[in-house]
Chain A
Amino acid sequence: MSERTLLAVRGLTKRYGERTGCLDVGFDLWPGEVLGVVGESGSGKTTILHCLSGRTVATAGSATFVQRDGKVVDLLRMPEAARRRLARADWAMVQQNPRDGLRMSVTAGANVGEPLMALGARHYGKIRGQALDWLGQVEIPLDRVDDLPATFSGGMQQRLQIARSLVTRPRMVFMDEPTGGLDVSVQARLLDLLRGLVADLGLAAIIVTHDLAVTRLLAHRLLVMRGGEIVESGLTDQVLDDPQHPYTQLLVSSVLPP
């Protein structure tokens, strides 16, 4: 219990003119912990990820992150070059649409090898070896290593994106609806894969999703967002089984059991 938080977010606010993206959002993330963020579209879930990953500039707040070397930085206020360096080494993003996270013009193997090269790896044989190892981990047949991602199914593309994101052993992963565009049959496989990887690698992760079943399976804790604000937070099973806020109760009771 005494270990340090990896990320401490306080007062995170994003305004788009009159409109509010997110308002006074605060939470902590510990190493190895998976945080689920749920709420309907437009509730500010994705805005949080965009602010933390530097895709949009936050209006106010802080996001204190402890780097691998122990140095503490504010993700919302750091110079662009330093942020890019940190993004390569310490965190990764898994997009809802794998085409946004992959380079479609290069092979599957190159997609997994590139992040290693960006971190300075030069030995071709070793890079290819690691790429093959990761393709195996995400259950992509190794004889597809030289194929272009466009020839892959949606589920395979998503698994390839996950391999590309995790090959550098990041300490924190942002996932935006990682199972969003997939068939239900493919989702289960991906979820199980993610569950195993997150646990084995001790990853901290923030998973934005509207799918409560996904959070039940993957997230230790939940934040429930509505209109840009956190309306409820707690242990995943507490929030889902004994929701307190009217909006959370509505969300939980609106899901049709299969």
Chain B
Amino acid sequence: MSEPVVPLLRVRDLAKTFTLHTQGGVTLPVLRRVSLRVDAGECVVLTGPSGSGKSTLLRAAYGNYRAQGGQILVRHRDRLVDMVSAGPREVLDVRRASVGHVSQFLRVIPRVPAEEVVAEPLVAQGIPRERALERARALLARLKISERLWRLSPVTFSGGEQQRVNVARGFIGTHTILLLDEPTASLDAASRGVVVQLIREARERGAALLGTFHDADVRAMVATRVVSLAEAEAA
């Protein structure tokens, strides 16, 4: 029964420095040789003071930020892909199939209804549109988005509603790795509870989750392991 534990996500000696050319070429070293691993079924919570690079690490793992050194190995279609060196088309394929990213901000596209925004990642994974929409509506209902809003573009939604749409969009797919950047930041207690459940369900299907949560209660409920960025940096 016991299968060998395989890391779905492995970060090795990751280094990231921002160079601000428009501000006199100031350099900001944010990550210095960070290493960590996340196995299937784990939810690893990153801790560290604001500005310590938690979001930067998550964005680098999603291929959104470019790192200067090290590796971010993710399991993708039965092989390992290094997100630090992968080309654009490969990164897009990894994002479609294997790595999801949930932030607290929804990028709203005018005229696209909420249910379509939520269903899109599943459609991109090849699920027929009608089935994806059914799943989307079920998730929106769980997150207490009123049914009369489902066909409307989230442009006019409140901040909290937009964030819940974003959470639904982030959890709808079958991604095996989920990067969570403060997904509960400004949610009410009931919605936070739903997110905690969604995280548990993702773990139960064998996903590996890595995230930041500033809310201590949520952290305690979701974390299978806590890693501080300072610890993750090589001495």
| A238–B63 CB distance below 8 A | yes
Q: What residues on A are CB-neighbors of B18 within 8 Å?
A: 242
Asked if A246 CB lies within 8 Å of chain B CBs, one says: yes
A191 to B110, CA, bound (A): 9
| A221–B88 CB distance below 8 A | yes
Q: What residues on A are CB-neighbors of B110 within 8 Å?
A: 188-189, 191-192
- Among A30, A191, A216, A237, max chain B CB count under 10 A is at A237
Residues of A within 8 A of B (CB): 1, 30, 33, 188-189, 191-192, 195, 216-217, 220-221, 234-235, 237-238, 241-242, 244-246, 249-250, 253
3 pairs of A and B residues whose beta carbons are closest in the complex? A246-B21, A188-B110, A235-B88
- The binding surface of chain A is classed by DSSP as helix
Q: What residues on B are CB-neighbors of A33 within 8 Å?
A: 89
Asked if B231 CB lies within 8 Å of chain A CBs, one says: no
Q: A238-B66, A241-B65, A244-B19 are in contact. List 9 more A-B contacts (CB 8 A).
A: A188-B111, A192-B112, A221-B88, A234-B88, A235-B63, A235-B88, A238-B64, A241-B59, A241-B64
Residues facing A in B1-59 (CB within 8 A) are: 18-22, 59
A1 to B88, CA, bound (A): 11
What is the size category of the interface that chain B forms with chain A? 20 to 34
**CB nearest to B111 among chain A residues:** A192
| A192–B109 CB distance below 8 A | yes
Q: What residues on B are CB-neighbors of A235 within 8 Å?
A: 63, 88, 91-92
A66 to B112, CA, bound (A): 34
| A242–B64 CB distance below 8 A | yes
A189 to B111, CA, bound (A): 7
A244 to B19, CA, bound (A): 8
A21 to B109, CA, bound (A): 35
| B66–A242 CB distance below 8 A | yes
**CB nearest to B93 among chain A residues:** A1
Asked if B215 CB lies within 8 Å of chain A CBs, one says: no
User: Chain B nearest CB: distance from A256 CB in Å?
Assistant: 15
Partner of A220, one of B22, B66, B92, B112: B92
User: Chain B nearest CB: distance from A119 CB in Å?
Assistant: 31
User: Chain A nearest CB: distance from B155 CB in Å?
Assistant: 9
A153 to B32, CA, bound (A): 56
Residues facing A in B87-138 (CB within 8 A) are: 88-93, 107, 109-112
**CB nearest to A250 among chain B residues:** B22
With A192-B109, A192-B111, A238-B66 as known contacts, state yes or no: A253 contacts B22, CB within 8 Å: yes
Partner of A1, one of B90, B109, B111: B90
